[in-house]
Structure 1
């Protein structure tokens, strides 16, 4: 294989990657939803999410007795093949508790991580969505859903 063939292959691969990123960006700009996720294993942990025209905002709250931990996450939403990809712009604590907890540990662990991936499945007849995640633990959370998660 000569040098020109390798250059053509690299250009082709780069073009495919650019096309997939562009499609997922445009698809992500079609979001218009609000969701409230409550963890069935820990009902004191709640995530309120909203997305409009690709701009995603989440409020993560963990209540323990009289103490509360709350974080705000802002991101750009991309969407490709029933996969939400969040490019995190900012992750900031809104309320810091006086004790060490899972929510603060998680957000400090992933503070510099910029990409989050979530698979999802929508049941339009029942107006519910199931969100699947692998990190920090493997779980699926189902909740009511109205709106659009993507352009297509």
Structure 2
């Protein structure tokens, strides 16, 4: 997992061929004015924009998730978002089976830590990062890049 601000995003471009495309795309946009929806930016690179109501810790932990085939870059464009995190290797209690269509695996474990993102901060979650996002109060404008591991 990586946590940083968009001002430092270019430092991570070498970690995956599509990171530069993702960060370049948002550097040319007003994040607040982006409309909700799903947008294919390039092959293997999907952007999901969502302006939604934050949820309780308990509600988010019902979907304590990780992915096998994608990396998430989750950006808080506006608001204060708390996210739970735990390394997958420490998760011992699966919550259902892996869903290959949605590339999601859920766990009933408790996060090892919680952290906050606010305006123009982001987290990068690799397949080994189990995460529970959108915890907080009020509205959160969030962008999630879904990046295929192998393109």
Same fold (TM over 0.5): no
Which has the larger Rg?
1
- TM-score, length basis structure 1: 0.26
Which structure is higher in RCO with an 8 Å CA cutoff and minimum separation 6?
Answer: 2
